């Protein structure tokens, strides 16, 4: 796996003010680029704010000016950006919860396929699972409570994912959020031999939390404060699947996903 420096940014967006939020996102993108990051991850609905009851009021199209401004800045800086918004369908229908990964002119869209029970009255589910290449690293997106669903991670792993991105909009505090993540996100990483990175939204003094796990499920970076903050982490190196492919596996470098095909 190629080496990649990633930046995770927990921010507090102004609900419904995508233009102002885009300016904040761009500011952190510039900061991340100065620190050598190749990919910047922002939380779920970081561009529009997360407010299910107001979804139809705050939703924007994936071709809107705030989205285009972020994409242009990513191109100018030569980095990848992953950010979220309530996405209008352009029709008389409910919006999607969308996470976009943009890099080198390519827009990869993931629409939350398993909307949470409280979201079902306000959002439509998506129906596809796409990966994106970021400087030779295959990345995939899985939104918030979908991190509890191993099947989605396995779908991405079957498509070659090396980095699983988990943008959140959880009201849990940073410490509580990371405590909760520590139950299942290390398993998403170790079962699939992938790096996993999670970043939570701030809202009304609540939320926050950023963390990264390596392919063995070991926590390698975290931030749990209540401030807007950027956490930088370097990932890369040999993955368990690479030893499996060479026939050099040991008990310490098992590629669980590859062996699961034999069940």
Question: Residue 114: its pLDDT value, please?
Answer: 97
122 SS3 class = coil
Question: Residue 163: its pLDDT value, please?
Answer: 98
Quick one: tokens of 96?
Answer: 């999607």
Phi and psi at 117, nearest 5°, equal -55, -40
Whether 132 contacts 108, CB under 8 Å? yes
Q: How far is it, in rounded angstroms, from Cα 63 to Cα 69?
A: 10
Residue 25 exposed, middle or buried by CB count within 10 Å (0-12, 13-18, 19+): buried
Count the Cβ atoms, other than its own, within 10 Å of residue 245. 12
Q: Cβ contacts of residue 97 below 8 Å, gap of 6+?
A: 44, 45, 84, 86, 87, 111, 112, 115, 119, 123, 143
Taking only the tens place, the pLDDT of each residue in 2-28 is 999 999 999 999 999 999 999 999 999
Question: Residue 14: its pLDDT value, please?
Answer: 96
Whether the predicted pLDDT of 205 surpasses 90: no
Q: What average pLDDT does the chain have? A: 95
Question: Residue 263: its pLDDT value, please?
Answer: 58
Taking only the tens place, the pLDDT of each residue in 142-156 is 999 999 999 999 999
In whole angstroms, how far apart are CA 143 and each of 44, 146, 236? 7, 5, 23
Question: Residue 20: its pLDDT value, please?
Answer: 98
Total number of domains in the chain: 1
* Domain, as residue range, for 60: 4-260
Q: What is the CATH number of the domain that holds 99?
A: 3.60.110.10
**What is the value of pTM for the model shown?**
0.96
- Over residues 63-88, mean pLDDT: 98
> Which uninterrupted H or E stretch holds 33?
helix 18-34
Taking only the tens place, the pLDDT of each residue in 76-123 is 999 999 999 999 987 778 999 999 999 999 999 999 999 999 999 999
Report which of 39, 13, 35, 21 is spatially closest to residue 164, judged by C-alpha positions: 39
Taking only the tens place, the pLDDT of each residue in 228-256 is 999 999 999 999 999 999 999 888 889 99
Q: How far is it, in rounded angstroms, from Cα 60 to Cα 66?
A: 9
- Quickly state the pLDDT bin for 65 (edges 50, 70, 90): very high
What stretches of the chain adopt beta strand conformation (E)?
A: 4-10, 39-41, 80-87, 96-103, 106-111, 131-134, 137-141, 163-168, 195-200, 202-203, 206-207, 210-213, 219-223, 229-235
């Amino acid at each position: 796996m190629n080496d990649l420096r990633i930046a995770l940014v927990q921010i507090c967006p102004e609900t419904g003010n995508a233009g102002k939020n885009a300016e904040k996102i761009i500011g952190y993108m510039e900061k991340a680029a100065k620190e050598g990051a190749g990919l910047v991850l922002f939380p779920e609905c970081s561009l529009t704010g997360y407010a299910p009851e107001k979804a139809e009021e705050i939703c924007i199209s994936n071709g809107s000016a705030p989205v285009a401004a972020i994409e242009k800045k990513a191109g100018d800086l030569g980095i990848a950006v992953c950010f979220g918004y309530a996405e209008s369908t352009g029709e008389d229908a409910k919006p999607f919860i969308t996470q976009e990964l943009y890099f080198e002119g390519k827009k990869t869209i993931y629409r939350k396929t398993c909307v949470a029970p409280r979201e079902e009255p306000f959002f439509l589910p998506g129906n596809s699972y796409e990966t994106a290449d970021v400087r030779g690293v295959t990345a995939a997106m899985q939104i918030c409570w979908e991190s509890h669903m191993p099947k989605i991670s396995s779908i991405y792993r079957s498509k070659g994912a090396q980095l699983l991105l988990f943008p959140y909009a959880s009201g849990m505090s940073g410490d509580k959020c990371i405590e909760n993540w520590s139950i299942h996100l290390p398993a998403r990483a170790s079962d699939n031999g992938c790096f996993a990175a999670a970043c939570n939204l701030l809202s009304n003094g609540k939320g926050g939390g950023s963390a990264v796990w390596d392919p063995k499920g070991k926590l390698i970076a975290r931030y749990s404060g209540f401030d807007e903050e950027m956490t930088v982490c370097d990932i890369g190196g040999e993955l368990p699947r690479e030893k499996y492919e060479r026939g050099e596996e040991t008990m310490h470098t098992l590629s669980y996903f590859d062996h699961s095909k034999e069940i």
